[in-house]
Amino acid sequence: MLEVIVSTIVISLVGTLAHFLYDLTGHNKFIGLFTAVNESTWEHIKIALTPILLCGLYDGFVYGQNPNYFLAKFVSLISVIIVMPSVFYGYKSFTKKPVLFVDILSFYLVIFLSQYLFKLIIDISAVPFIFEYLACAGVFVVFGCYATLTLMPLKVALFKDPISKKYGFKAHVDNPSNNKK
């Protein structure tokens, strides 16, 4: 459990930094592919996924030989993609507006859940190879969707910035096109 707590703290800190990194780097588009470029739900999912993927540099070294590694990593990533918007839109259906404290708390809880699921799957008996193979492909699909959906976001609520009402890089509040009337 200590490993889950430590990884949750590290991922949370890097994710929190990723919320501000696009602005701190002077709106570097490459950095924006992996960090939040606006306040949409998708961009908040990205700031959890980025450090979880980066954590793969460590956990791949430690657990890469584990027959469940890619399944654990894939479930870890997918849990963020499913649970974070579910919690956000779920509580917002009752409150009718976002609550910053709840958003922040849910971000950290989703990361904890992600890491807990990762460790849980790592520690079970080996799954059939086909699941590991499909999960490996799934990790690459998630990674591929990452940049693609920032560059070409779908025109749905998940990707819409609640401030500018735009999508992707164009939604950033400092985008000059957002200041035109």
Question: pLDDT at position 125, please?
Answer: 92
Question: pLDDT at position 114, please?
Answer: 96
Cα dist from 157 to 41, 58, 142, 154, 160, whole Å? 8, 34, 19, 9, 5
Distance CA 58, CA 14 (A): 14
Question: pLDDT at position 181, please?
Answer: 40
Token pair belonging to 82: 């499913």
Domain spans, the chain: 2-176
* pLDDT by residue, tens only, the chain of 181 residues: 888 999 999 999 999 999 999 999 999 999 998 999 998 999 999 999 999 988 888 888 898 899 999 999 999 999 999 999 999 999 988 988 888 899 899 999 999 999 999 999 999 999 999 999 999 999 999 988 877 888 899 999 999 998 888 988 888 766 545 444 4
